[in-house]
Amino acid sequence: MSNTKTQANSADEDPFLWLEDRTGKQALDWVHRQNEATTGELQGNPSYQAYFQTALDLMTAEDNIAVGSALSGHVYNFWQDKTNVLGLWRRTPVASYKTEKPDWDTIIDFDRLSAKEGVKWVFSGASRLYPDFSRCLLSLSPDGGDASEMREFDIDTKSFVEGGFRAPASKSGFRWMDKDTVIVSAAFEEDEKTQSGYPRVVKLWQRGTRLEDATPIFEAQKQDLAAGGSLEFDGDKRHLFLTRTLDFFASHSFLRLPSGENRRIPLPDDVTDTMLFRDQLVFGVRSPWSAPDGTRCRPDGLYSLDFARWIETNALGPVDTVLEPADRVSIAGIARTQDRLFINLMDNVRGRVVACQRGGSGWSLQPVALPKDGSVGISHAERFGSSVSFSFTDFLTPSSIIWSDDNAATLTTVKSQPARFDASSLVSEQFEARSKDGTMIPYFVVRRRDQNGPVPTLLYGYGGFEVPLLPGYAGVRGRLWLEKGNAYVQANIRGGGEFGPNWHQAALKANRQNAFDDFIAVAQDLVKRGIATPATLGIQGGSNGGLLTGVSLTQHPELFGAVIIDMPLLDMLRYTELPPGASWMAEYGDPAKPEEAEWLAAYSPYQHVETDAAYPPVLLTTSTADDRVHPGHARKMAGRLQAAGHTKTLFFEETEGGHGGRGDRRPQAAQAAMKYVFLQRALNGTA
C-alpha cells in the first residue's frame, strides 16, 4: 500500500458532506448527472440490451419456483413476473401446491392496488390472526424501504377492514395479541425511537381506540438497538414475550405474566437460536456459559430448560443438552412443527438438517434424509401442524423444494427449477487460502472443468454480522458470466457465520482487519493457482460486503482489475451519524471513542483514497430509498475518487427500492446487466 498523502480525514474538512443530504436538490442533481454518465457508458455497450433481457427473463420466468409456507391447509406465496411487476400475494390448497400447475387464488394484486392509490406499494409481510388466520396486519412499503404502512386486511373477503387497525409508514412492528388487540413495537414519535431509529416502546392497542392512546407495557433504553413484542404459541398455551435488543448480538427477553409483571428470562445476554417447544425453551449461546445447575453451555451447541417450571417457580432448573458442538459445524437456524424441532446445520459450509423430539429420557435426534454436499435450508415449518419443507441447491444444481406432511418422516420433491444455464462443462471446487495470521480460509470456485490458464474471475465476499455465504444456484450469473468461460469465487471469510460465533468474533471491532486479510489471501491464492491474474480478477460485495470491497480497493489496488461496491458502508468515521448506523456499533465499534476511532480510521476506505494510487475501474451502486445503509456512503466515495483524478470511477443510484432492491424487477435486471457489462469490459482489457 502506498504511503502517499490521503484525502482529508475529519468531517469538518469533508468537501462532500453535502452528498449526505438524501433528497436535497444539489445532491440529487449530482446523482442524476452521475446516472446519466454511467448508463450512457454501460447501457450504451453493445452487449447491454441482450444482458438486460436475459436477466429480466430469468428474474420473471413463469417456471421459477413458487416458494411458499403452509398454514391451515393453504400454501401462501408472493409472486412477481413480467405481468405482475409489483407482485401478487396468493394462496393455494396444499394438495394443489404439490401439482405441476397449482390453482392459485390471488389475495392482493399489488400492481392493481398501486394503480388505484397512486403509490408503488411493496409488500413487506403480514401478521395473521390465530386460529383461523383470515385476518392479517398487512405491511406495505411506499418506496421499497424498511419503513412500512400497516393496514388490517381480511383474506376471505380480499379487502381492507373498514375502520380496522391502520398506522402510517414507520419502522414500527405489529403483531396480533387477539382479534381486538394489537402488540405495537412503536417508532412513530422521536421519544419512541432508539438512537438507531427503531422501536423503543411496546404498547397494546385496543380496537376502536386511537393509536396514540395505546397502553405502553415495555420500554428499552434510548441507546439500545430496539424493543419488540410478540405472542408465542406452544400447544394450547400462549406467552407474550418482550425483548430489549441491546445490539445485534445481545438482548434481554422478558415474559409478561398475567399480573402485568415483565419477568426477565435469566439467560446470558448473547443467547441465540431461541425456540419454545413443548414446554421447553431451547437456546444457544455465542460465548461459553455455566448454567446454575453446572451445565456448561458452549457456542454451536443447543440446550433447553423447563419453561413451564420456570414460570411456576421463577427458578431456572436443570439445563439439558439438545445438540453437542462439533468442529466446523455451526447452527444455521431452528424451526418447529407442532411435534418436531428441526435444526439446520452447516458442516464445513454444506447443509444438513436433524429432527428432534423430546421423551421421558430426554432429547433424541434423527438426521433428515436430504441430499448431501449442497445448501440445505428449512423453507417452512408449520407450527400448528406437521408439514415442513426444505430447499436444496448448490452452484450447479437448480433449486428444489422437498416437502413432507408428516414431520419429515416421508419426503417428496414437489418443485424443481429448470436449469438456467449449461453446467455440463463446469465444476465446483472448495479450496483453502492461508490468511496473514495463519488461519485457513475456505472458498468455492466455479469454473470450466478444462480451464487452462487465467480467465476473468469474479470474487464475492461478505464477512460480517455472523451471516454465512452458502453455495447457491444463480441463473443470471450462470448465463451472463459462467457460460462465457469465466470463473466465480465465493470466499468464506471471518466475520461471517460459516463456523459459528467464534468465526464471527474473530473479525469483530478491533479485529476487523482479519476479514479484509482473509479476502486478500483468497485473491492471492487464486493468482497463485493460476485461476486468475490481478488484471482478470474482479471483486464484488454489498452492504457490509461493500465495505469489504472498498477496503480491498484502497489497501490492495494492485490485486484487482475491477471493483464493484454495492450499497456500501465506506465512511467509518461518520457511519453512526447516518441512520441507522448507530445500530452497528457492536459490529464495528464507536467512532466517538478515541480508541475505537483509531482502529476504524486505520481502514475506513473513504479516508484512504489516494491521489496517485493506480486504482482499477470502480462501480459504486446505492439507492435513494435505502433506509438501512445511507446512500451518502457511496455518493461521497464516488465524489472523492473522481475528484482525486480516478476517471474510471462510475456511480449509479437507483431512485426506487430499498436496501434489498425490492419491488419492480426491471431496475434489478438493469443493474445486473450493467454490472456484467462493467466486469466483461474491465477484465477483458477493453475498459
Residue 659 among the catalytic residues: yes
CA pair distance 530, 532, nearest whole angstrom? 5
Question: How is the beta sheet containing 250-256 ordered, strand by strand?
Answer: 226-234, 237-247, 250-256, 262-264
CA pair distance 603, 584, nearest whole angstrom? 16
Cβ 428 vs Cβ 396: under 8 Å:
yes
Instruction: Note every long-range contact of 241-248, with CB atoms under 8 Å and residues 24 or more positions apart, other chains counting.
Output: 242/202, 242/217, 242/218, 244/218, 244/220, 245/220, 246/586, 247/583, 247/585, 247/586, 248/465, 248/583, 248/584, 248/586, 248/587
CA pair distance 258, 239, nearest whole angstrom? 10
Only one residue has cell 446523482, namely 31
C-alpha cell at 8: 482529508
C-alpha of 422 from chain center = 29
Cβ 110 vs Cβ 83: under 8 Å:
no
Residue type, 243: T
Per-residue burial over 20-34, b if 16 or more Cβ lie within 10 Å, else e, is: bebeeeebbebbeeb
CA pair distance 20, 581, nearest whole angstrom? 13
C-alpha of 419 from chain center = 25
Residue 630 among the catalytic residues: no
C-alpha of 142 from chain center = 20
Active-site annotation holder among 389, 428, 543, 604: 543
E strand or H helix at 376: strand 375-381
Question: Alpha helices, DSSP H only, in 60-130?
Answer: 94-97, 110-117
Mapping DSSP onto H, E and C, the string for 522-542 reads HHHHHHHCCCCCHHHEEEEEE
CA pair distance 428, 303, nearest whole angstrom? 36
Task: Name which of 482, 479, 430 is nearest 455 in CA terms.
Answer: 482
Strands 375-381 and 426-434: what pairing? unpaired
DSSP state, 193?
A: B
CA pair distance 622, 637, nearest whole angstrom? 11
3-state DSSP assignment of residue 42: helix
Only one residue has cell 451518502, namely 632
Residues known to be catalytic = 543, 659
